[in-house]
């Protein structure tokens, strides 16, 4: 069973084989034979690490997972670094030759990325009309431009780019007012999210500044790492806040688009919705209840006829038939949703009669 598990997990198999190979090479460099014949054996060790490991990655992972060949590049660069640690400093002659290839590899990666970005931008311009939200449009563009990307990788990359984009540009970006006639409902004013986030940002900046000054006396590098990590965390928080501003809930023609910043998203057909009403304590105690309110407890609940998949951050999903939400204008939201549900019930009844 363990053998089958290894074979079925090419990345784990590669990691184990690479670790075994590196351990063997490290042992070889400490033997008397290596000291007696350093020129020949240093060439063999360099080739094993710099050539064999990237080749193993290509054969076991790239080909079987159908990943882009460009993913071999970071493995090659890492192999150069590890080889430099294993080989004695006096035996870096062949490694130095191999390192001459690194700039060419990096340049090739940059060229491929630039071409892919151009392709992604083209797909984005084409798809933005059929997608209501930036993250979904970006993810669809990535998958169209790089179909070999695993869905999880595309989802993670989309999350990172979207949060950074919203967090950095959200302050100057204006909310687009669509003219497609579909009702839109904001929810970012609920619960004082802006006030709470502002207070949190103040505390983080204050504590980060103090910690940076104290840590800088001990280690400047650690101090800057902590500072950059804190700023990046703030960008994430701001990104989620601005995502809640720019991604309202939409009562579409055939489905309800539920959003909660970058945290949760679901597109639910009207025929699948049983009722939308004010949430009760009994609703919140349901085992599958999902609180998708941006702050605090959900004031409304969307009850489904059958569980639906709700997508969260970093590829997370949840199956639920009870989705808790909050909107700024509850009366208008309930009126619009109930109108859509009544129309959907009429269509279902007519279809049954035919």
Q: Which residue has the higher pLDDT, 273 or 150?
A: 273
Q: Give the containing element (helix H, strand E) for 123.
A: helix 102-127
Distance, in Å, from the CA atom of 167 to the CA atom of 236, rounded to the nearest integer, reads 6
Average the pLDDT over each of 57-71, 268-282, 291-305 and give the range with the smallest value: 57-71
Question: Residue 139 — pLDDT band, cuts 50, 70, 90?
Answer: confident
Across the range 216-238, mean pLDDT stands at: 84
Across the range 229-244, mean pLDDT stands at: 86
pLDDT in tens, 243-252: 888 888 888 8
Alpha-carbon torsion (276, 246, 239, 112), positive or negative: positive
Token duo for residue 161: 């780019």
**What confidence score (pLDDT) does residue 180 get?**
59
Q: Where are the domains of the chain?
A: 2-100, 110-169, 249-353
Q: Percent of the chain having pLDDT more than 90?
A: 1
Report whether pLDDT(130) > 50.
Answer: yes
pLDDT in tens, 171-182: 777 766 555 567
Token duo for residue 24: 């063997």
**What confidence score (pLDDT) does residue 178 get?**
57
Mean of the per-residue pLDDT values of the chain? 81
Kindly compute the dihedral angle of the four CA atoms of residues 241, 242, 243, 246, in this order, to the nearest 10 degrees.
Answer: 140
DSSP 8-state symbol, 270: G
Across the range 227-233, mean pLDDT stands at: 85
**What confidence score (pLDDT) does residue 99 get?**
73
Question: Residue 1 — pLDDT band, cuts 50, 70, 90?
Answer: very low
Across the range 228-254, mean pLDDT stands at: 86
Report whether pLDDT(125) > 50.
Answer: yes
**What confidence score (pLDDT) does residue 118 get?**
81
**What confidence score (pLDDT) does residue 179 get?**
55
Prediction pTM value: 0.65
- 3 state DSSP class of 310: strand
Token duo for residue 52: 């064999």
Please, are residues 21 and 53 in contact by the beta-carbon 8 Å criterion?
yes
Report whether pLDDT(2) > 60.
Answer: no
Tell me the residue ranges of DSSP E strands in the chain.
184-185, 249-251, 255-260, 264-269, 273-278, 290-291, 300-312, 317-325
Distance, in Å, from the CA atom of 343 to the CA atom of 152, rounded to the nearest integer, reads 37
pLDDT in tens, 315-353: 788 899 999 988 888 888 888 888 888 876 666 555 555
**What confidence score (pLDDT) does residue 348 get?**
58
Question: Residue 226 — pLDDT band, cuts 50, 70, 90?
Answer: confident
Please, are residues 268 and 258 in contact by the beta-carbon 8 Å criterion?
yes
Token duo for residue 350: 């007519």
Pairing of strands 249-251, 317-325: unpaired
Give the DSSP per-residue string, 203-247.
HHHHHHHHHHHHHHTT-HHHHHHHHHHHHHHHHHHHHHHHHHHH-
Report whether pLDDT(88) > 70.
Answer: yes
**What confidence score (pLDDT) does residue 7 get?**
57
Distance, in Å, from the CA atom of 302 to the CA atom of 322, rounded to the nearest integer, reads 6
DSSP 8-state symbol, 49: I
Please, are residues 95 and 117 in contact by the beta-carbon 8 Å criterion?
no
Across the range 22-44, mean pLDDT stands at: 86
Please, are residues 260 and 244 in contact by the beta-carbon 8 Å criterion?
yes
């Amino acid at each position: 069973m363990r053998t089958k598990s290894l074979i079925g997990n090419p990345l784990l198999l590669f990691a184990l084989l690479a670790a075994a190979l590196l351990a063997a090479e490290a042992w070889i460099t400490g033997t008397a034979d290596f000291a007696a014949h350093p020129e020949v054996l240093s060439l063999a060790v360099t080739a094993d690490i710099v050539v064999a490991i990237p080749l193993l990655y290509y054969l076991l992972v790239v080909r079987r997972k159908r990943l882009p060949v460009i993913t071999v590049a970071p493995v090659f660069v890492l192999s150069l670094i590890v080889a430099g640690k294993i080989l004695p400093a006096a035996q870096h002659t062949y490694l130095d030759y191999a390192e001459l290839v690194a700039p060419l590899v990096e340049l090739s990666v940059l060229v491929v990325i630039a071409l892919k970005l151009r392709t992604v931008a083209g797909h984005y311009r084409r798809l933005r009309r059929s997608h209501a939200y930036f993250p979904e449009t970006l993810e669809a563009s990535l998958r169209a431009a790089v179909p070999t990307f695993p869905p999880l990788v595309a989802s993670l990359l989309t999350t990172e780019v979207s949060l950074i984009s919203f967090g950095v540009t959200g302050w100057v970006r204006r909310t687009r007012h669509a003219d497609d006639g579909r009702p839109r409902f904001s929810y970012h004013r609920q619960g004082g999210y802006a006030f709470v986030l502002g207070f949190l940002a103040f505390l983080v900046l204050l504590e980060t500044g103090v910690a940076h000054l104290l840590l800088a006396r001990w280690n400047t590098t650690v101090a800057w790492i902590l500072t950059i990590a804190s700023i990046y965390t703030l960008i994430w928080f701001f990104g989620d806040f601005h995502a809640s501003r720019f991604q309202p809930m939409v009562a579409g023609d055939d489905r309800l688009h539920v959003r909660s910043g970058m945290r949760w998203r679901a597109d639910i057909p009207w025929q699948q919705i049983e009722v939308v009403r004010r949430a009760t304590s009994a609703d919140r105690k349901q085992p599958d209840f999902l609180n998708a309110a941006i702050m605090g407890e959900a004031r409304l609940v969307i009850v489904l006829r059958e569980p639906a998949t709700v997508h969260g951050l970093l590829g997370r999903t949840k199956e639920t038939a009870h989705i808790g939400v909050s909107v700024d204008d509850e009366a208008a939201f309930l009126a619009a949703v109930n109108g859509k549900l009544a129309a959907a019930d009429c269509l279902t009844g007519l279809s049954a009669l035919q």
